[in-house]
Structure 1
Amino acid sequence: MAKIAPTVFIPLSYKVRGTDSSFFVDDFKVAETLASFNKKITTMTGYMLLVLVRPGLPYVVIDSTANDKIKTLVAKRYDVNLKALDLTHFHTDPDLIDNYALPLFIPAVMLVVLDIIVDCVHDLAALYLSDNKLHSLHDLSVLSIKLPKLKVLRIGRNRIQDLQQLDCLESLPLEDLMLNGNPLRDKYQDHNAYIRDVKKRFPKLLKLDGVELSPPIKPDVSEPLQMPTINENYSCPEEGRSFVHQFLAAYYQLYDNNNREQLARAYLDNSMLSLTSTYVQDQSSENTSEFVKHVTESLNFLSVKDDSRGQKSSYHGKRDIIACLSKLPKTQHVPNSFVTNLKVFTPQVILMSLTGLFWELGPTGKQLLRSFSRDLVIVPHGQGHCIMNEELSVTCATDNQTEVGLRTSGPAEMLPSTTRVTVAASRQVELIDDGMKQRMVDGLAAQTGMNMQWAQKFFMKATGIFSKRYIC
């Protein structure tokens, strides 16, 4: 042995058969050094010593004797006070190297060891597995189930290549993790990025590679936080609520009427409308009633393949809009299902969203419940207000929405019949001039706090005044 000094190694599973002996080493450089002395050492009998080295793994058979040795080793290395088990250099333990080669990187050995740990140690808090040539952590995925109280894990100086291999351990409430000495660490030039990626998997981590981490920020409150009350209907400002109520009352009194041509008074001559109808998730024509008339008039980008069809499916001018709305089935809307969101309310422009339910009245008296949403851009005109731009989306009602609709005892009026809202007269309307456009943008900027550039961009996108293409 003096010939190969200062190289130090531990022969594992050493066996003698006649004049031959065999053993394993766990270091490639040691194996190379031993191979270099082939036929260079003279034995006491005068023969040259043959040193044959080849790659391989020990043949592992975990019999009752080996099982007992593992139990003895686990008991010897367990610290009762710290509730910690140190299995560092497990396969080189003096109790195992004579006749047993039991490396933990062999799955069969790791699983047996874990089973023994669970049987012998019920509240393990720390497990040290460094220096065990581990190249996979898949076998450790059972730790979150078998050792749910484990908070310290040291797996440094192994052969773990990627941080993704730790994904199987994410359920563990780890506070202290040791990874240094693994190839995965060399892949990070930015140490902060390394810490960030580790903490994504273990948010409770307080120490990484022996270095204390900044504690997670927690709200300094003595009482549980109370979330604000959710308001289904929102109006900005509050005085707009009365306008919304009256406008929708008048609109749907006409819309649910047999003659929708009266709605022409609610639109400008250059108004725009886009209609979309589609099935929501888990719905199709096979499990919900079809709404063919809506789909026929719909602008659905999943079905519209060419640009010309898209332009035909968006409606320009009150005549085309009323023609489209008149083709749709008769309806009876459910007022108590309405949810409104008044986003902008200024003298120059009003932006409003509306969602709700309506009953589609079939020719045979059959009623089908639908869900709808409407986005409206409303501007002052004459003595009242008109819709300048509208996006209407219709779908089949979900199960929850159907319950809301069925709770309605029958057709209900939006408001008493004496309530009316003033809409613009149906006289010819000229296109909005540049001065009016600028005043509308100024009002939008003043109401929302946007700068003029963003207010104009938002106005152009929301109203479609400056675009000849259909609305997305």
Structure 2
Amino acid sequence: MENTQDGTLGDWFKITVPYGIKYDKTWLMNSIQSHCSVPFTPVDFHYVKHLAQFFVQDASAASALKDVSYKICDEQNQKIPIFVNTSAVPYSVCNKLEPEKMEQLKLTISKRYDVSQKALDLHKIRFDPDLLGHGIIIVLNRRNCMTAILEIIKKNFPELLSLNLCKNKLYKLDCVSEITQVAPRVNILNLSKNELKSACELDKIKGLKLEELWLKGNPLCDTFPDQPTYISVIRKCFPNLLRLDGEDLPPPTVIDIVDMDIIKPCKESYKGPETLKNLVSQFLLQYYLIYDSEDRRSLLSAYHEEACFSLTVLFNSEDPALSSLCEYLKDNRNMKKVKDPDLRVQLLKRTNHDIVSTLCVLPKTQHDLNSYVIDLCVHTEMMLCFSVSGVFKEVEGNSQGPVYAFTRTFILSSGSDSSLCIVNDILTVGNAGTKEIQTAFSIPVPTPTFGSLPTLSTEQQEMVQAFSTQSGISLQWSQK
């Protein structure tokens, strides 16, 4: 078949990666290129729903790309399939701007470029009179339009540092994703007053090392329960971010790590039912001694770096006491009530720092260790899964709050150093029943203050100090 400049049906091939939305574009394309025996030029890379797609105009490259299928593994060691099909000419190619229109677009963009700041202002580019006067309509949601702009940036402004895309009615960032390769030095990006509905769109440009980002005026800003969650989610995409929507960001929460040998036992040490029982009991004792203390930050080392945590409030809209759980409702991930899938993702706390930061702002508590009911679900040499149910009350100064019921499911897994740490933590809270309230704290738990503790000998004081230093538990709790 005869080739033309733009190609005809049969010349072009569509390459599809199922669930490619999970992968960073740069990583995915570099991985495919390195495994492909024939060099190729990807055209019109974009994400559509859960797929990643691009086109090639080379039959030999298309054949070689078929052989790459299931040859690449992701971080979870899952093999990545690649599908190759014949295709019509890509939209951005068959609708490519004519040379005279490209020249006018280049002149218009040059007028909007600040050489000293290396900044390009494309806000409301569709309504630029220089373009409309020549019958040129640039809609950034159209791949051919964004492709034309990126081509001009690549040839003329590769040192670009700041890009303003405000007020362009952008509802997705597939077309913008190419900026990560065309102008990788961009560190200021203005996406305000567009139509972006999901923070997931930002994953498509997370290859940029942004220091300043503007998002206000997009529907996605209204999907967050509070400002800290908004900042946390955006920072996961851009960890170097210093300013968001014109406001300086607080520094990331830094929590000192205190090693906790009881919570992270050697996996060879828990063979046998009695040993398992003692191990779980030790874990719960130490975990809740710290959880109920004044400072929960020492729990950081108990969690894996990529651990997950979710909080659910047992919801009964007719329960008059529900308002007493308001401090927990803002993080409530109850799927019967949280219908928005993006909000569900945001409410799932990931990484040990995010989890402990969340735990630190929950109300101070006192748990009734005597109320615990423990169920060991699964145990292997690599994993330990169990749940604990019981009651607790909030403690604010000398005042005591109402009694609540809780269930917590922990999954502990073996790390690289053969120790166990928490990889998944699910907390469910609700109002306790009448019988639970009546029997709660029936066996007194001593308040950990120096005034209520017996006088210790010098040797005992040294033991307490040594235990406190090694475990990270306060002196009061160590003495108890």
What range is the shorter-chain TM-score in?
0.3 to 0.5
Q: Which TM-score applies when normalising by structure 2? A: 0.35
Q: Which TM-score applies when normalising by structure 1? A: 0.36
More helix by share: 2
